[in-house]
Amino acid sequence: MSYIEIRGLCKKFGDNVILDHVDLDIEKGEVVAIIGPSGTGKSTLLRCLNLLETPEGGTIKVDGREYDLTTKDGKVKRNLRRESSMVFQQFNLIKHKNSLQNVEEGLRVVKRLGKDEARKKALAELENVGMADRLYHFPKHLSGGQQQRVAIARALAMEPNLLLMDEPTSALDPELVGEVLLTIRKAAKAGNTTLLVTHEMNFVKSVANKIIFLENGKVVACGTPKEIFGYPSNERLKEFLAKIHMLEGAEYNI
Amino acid sequence: MKLFDIKLVFSQIPTILSALPITIELTIIATLIGYLLGLVLALVKIHKTPVLRQIAVAYISIIRGTPILVQLYITYYGIPLMLKHHNLTYGTNYNINAIPAIVFAIIALGLNQSAFDAEVIRASIQSVDKGQVEAAKTLGMSGGQILRRVILPQAVVVALPSLGNSLISLIKGTSLAFTVAVVDLTAEGRILAGRNFRYFEVYCSLAIIYWVITVVLENMFKILENKFSIPDQPPVIAPEKVSGGVVK
Ligand SMILES: Nc1ncnc2c1ncn2[C@@H]1O[C@H](COP(=O)(O)OP(=O)(O)OP(=O)(O)O)[C@@H](O)[C@H]1O
Ligand SMILES: [Mg+2]
């Protein structure tokens, strides 16, 4: 039995099947990366796991606790959402709260920590992502990279059992990508079970334990970075890697 | 007798101001009704609740499409009729004459405000970016918590200028309350003029009073706006605290 087990996840938008009975296992502390062409359902997969989208079918088991992903029960939904934290492409910090308040929000309101305890935890998390010098800055006073680091601190402060990240560096200027990738690497090394969607293939190669290749709503290939980039067996995967110049076989190199 | 007694314009202001508490009471209660009912109407429209939504749309359309004076008379004559009907059907014994006139004015003005505020509140709620709401959901916050802690504080900043305008037009709307026998500022002035026949001077005094009240309110709203909006400048970073940005 795996730490996280996703079974039979199905999602349609209208008549378009976006996710077609996706199964996925993640072990505790593992970093799993999802790669695949644009529009293939990577974001949708992540958003179904915290019910930002409502799937037509599927279950998720977290550390033995099973949830029906189609549930309409508000309380079950909130409990499921508390199992995971999400880092968004557009950061999505609360605009009228400063860095410290953004991190404290979930601790106070959802985890119901006391004032001092929440403050201590938030300070520690912000220190960890290198934002201790901008505690009282509002999001609009921070660069994209800084906002994303605050967002990562906010996500980690909730001590999630699963950390979801959807292209966390895609909205950033190139010179800011590095600082955020470093922060993510640190979180991964600290043992956070992570499901990550990204186009940063070199980063995936060095950080992920497992890579999922998603295409047309199906898991087409799954393996270690070595298996995926070194010896891709699947034709579709080979094509995709060739397109993004990540195939290592000589015949495909330009 | 002087054609225009400018001294009287100012000297009778204190007398007229004896009715100021009534105008203020009318304004504050009607405003609160307007904001609260407006918020409810806005939420109904946003969430597209079936049936309720249609009712809200019709209500807003009717109120916005009829003059406030007509609405005042409809409440003034309509509510007693409804109570009489209730007395006859259920054998109750409500004393219609015991209802103070101000109640009718408060209800009419409050309902009128709610229709206008509903649109302002709806637009400002919808202006809050959806990403933040999604982030709050993923934290595990409930719908009510998200509304109170994420959406409303930002919607208020957007809505304040328009809500200020609607409050200002309400203040002026209260001057119609005399038509349903409320002795507000305007009514007090008319009573005064009825005694000294100085109608022109009285209306000049009233103009000054309403104008001053409006200016005061405008400034209060400006202060509120500043208080609620995010400062333009970031706080200063203490030099010894700068960690170089990147995680070590
Ligand atoms: N709210 C929506 N309504 C209708 N269709 C949608 C909606 N959101 C996504 N889709 C469709 O679902 C498909 C999958 O979208 P998704 O955002 O999951 O792709 P993705 O793999 O994350 O792509 P990218 O790499 O470009 O981010 C797309 O074809 C998209 O058009
Ligand atoms: Mg996406």
Q: Are B135 and A86 in contact (CB under 8 A)?
A: yes
Q: Are A62 and B147 in contact (CB under 8 A)?
A: no
Buried b (16+ CB within 10 A) or exposed e, A205-226: bebbebbbbbbebbbbbbbebe
Mean pLDDT score across all residues of chain B: 91
In a domain, B230, yes or no: no
Q: Quick one: pLDDT at residue B244?
A: 47
Q: Quick one: pLDDT at residue B239?
A: 59
Q: Is some CB atom of chain A closer than 8 A to the CB atom of B41?
A: no
Q: Is some CB atom of chain A closer than 8 A to the CB atom of B237?
A: yes
Q: Is some CB atom of chain A closer than 8 A to the CB atom of B243?
A: yes
Residue B193 has pLDDT above 60, yes or no: yes
Tell which phi-psi region holds residue B172, choosing left (phi > 0), alpha (psi between -120 and 50) or beta: alpha
Tokens of A3: 């730490």
Q: What is the pLDDT of residues A188-238, one digit of tens each?
A: 999 999 999 999 999 999 999 999 999 999 999 999 999 999 888 899 999
Residue B129 has pLDDT above 50, yes or no: yes
Q: Is some CB atom of chain A closer than 8 A to the CB atom of B141?
A: yes
Q: What ligand 1 atom has the least distance to the C-alpha of A170? A: 27
In a domain, A212, yes or no: yes
Q: What ligand 1 atom has the least distance to the C-alpha of A14? A: 4
Residue B243 has pLDDT above 90, yes or no: no
Q: How many A-B residue pairs are in contact by the CB < 8 A criterion?
A: 102
Q: Quick one: pLDDT at residue B247?
A: 41
Sheet with A65-68, side-by-side order of all strands: A16-26, A4-13, A57-62, A65-68
Residue B80 has pLDDT above 50, yes or no: yes
Query: CB-based burial of residue A3 (10 Å sphere; 0-12 exposed, 13-18 middle, 19+ buried)?
Result: middle
Contact B230 A128 (CB under 8 A): no
In a domain, B196, yes or no: no
Q: Quick one: pLDDT at residue A110?
A: 96
Q: How far is the CA of A170 from the centre of ligand 2 (A)?
A: 10
Contact A136 B238 (CB under 8 A): no
In a domain, A145, yes or no: no
Quickly state the pLDDT bin for A24 (edges 50, 70, 90).
Answer: very high
In a domain, B114, yes or no: yes
In a domain, B242, yes or no: no
Domain containing A32 — which CATH number? 3.40.50.300
Q: How far is the CA of B221 from the centre of ligand 1 (A)?
A: 43
State the DSSP H helix or E strand holding residue A221, giving kind and residue range, or none if neither: strand A218-223
Count the Cβ atoms, other than its own, within 10 Å of residue A21: 14
In a domain, A102, yes or no: no
Distances (CA, A) of A177 to A5, A126, B162: 31, 18, 41
Residues 6 or more apart in contact with residue B41 via CB below 8 angstroms: B56, B59, B60, B114, B115, B118, B121, B122
Residue A253 has pLDDT above 80, yes or no: no
Among B150, B237, B246, select the one facing A134 at the smallest CB separation: B237
Q: Is some CB atom of chain B closer than 8 A to the CB atom of A190?
A: no
Q: How far is the CA of A156 from the centre of ligand 2 (A)?
A: 21
Q: Quick one: pLDDT at residue B245?
A: 46
H-type alpha helices, A142-207: 144-157, 174-189, 201-207
Mean pLDDT score across all residues of chain A: 93
Question: In which domain, by residue range, is B82 found?
Answer: 21-181
Q: Is A164 helix (H, G, I), strand (E, B) or coil?
A: strand
In a domain, A218, yes or no: yes
Count the Cβ atoms, other than its own, within 10 Å of residue B54: 11
Q: Are B120 and B167 in contact (CB under 8 A)?
A: no
C-alpha A188: how far from chain center: 11
Partners of residue A86 in chain B, C-beta under 8 Å: 134-135, 138
Specify the range with the lowest mean pLDDT, choosing from B22-26, B45-49, B118-122: B45-49
Partners of residue B245 in chain A, C-beta under 8 Å: 130, 146, 179
Tallying the residues shown for chain A, one arrives at 254
| φ, ψ for residue B55, nearest 5 deg | -60, -45
Distances (CA, A) of A128 to A93, A196, A239: 18, 20, 39
Q: Quick one: pLDDT at residue A244?
A: 85
Query: DSSP class of residue B38?
Result: H
Q: Quick one: pLDDT at residue A159?
A: 96
In a domain, A107, yes or no: no
Q: What residue ranges line ligand 1, CB within 6 angstroms?
A: A 13, 18, 38-44
Q: What is the mean pLDDT of residues B42-63?
A: 94
* Chain A contact probe: residue of B133, B138, B141, B146 with most A CBs at under 10 A: B138
For chain B, give the percent of residues with pLDDT over 70.
96
Question: In which domain, by residue range, is A215 found?
Answer: 4-15+25-40+54-92+162-243
Among A93, A94, A133, select the one facing B243 at the smallest CB separation: A133
Among protein residues, the one whose CA lies closest to atom 6 of ligand 1: A13
Please list the residues that pair with A7 across neighbouring strands.
A59
Count the Cβ atoms, other than its own, within 10 Å of residue B241: 10
State the DSSP H helix or E strand holding residue A163, giving kind and residue range, or none if neither: strand A162-166
Q: Are B16 and B189 in contact (CB under 8 A)?
A: yes
Domain containing B176 — which CATH number? 1.10.3720.10
* Number of folded domains that form chain B: 1
Residue B231 has pLDDT above 90, yes or no: no
Q: Is some CB atom of chain B closer than 8 A to the CB atom of A78?
A: yes
Q: Quick one: pLDDT at residue A249?
A: 54
* Number of folded domains that form chain A: 1
Listed residue (B39, B19, B9) closest to B174, CA to CA: B19
CA distance B145 to chain A (A): 8
* Chain B contact probe: residue of A103, A109, A128, A181 with most B CBs at under 10 A: A109
Q: Is some CB atom of chain B closer than 8 A to the CB atom of A101?
A: no
Q: Quick one: pLDDT at residue B95?
A: 87
Residue B241 has pLDDT above 60, yes or no: no
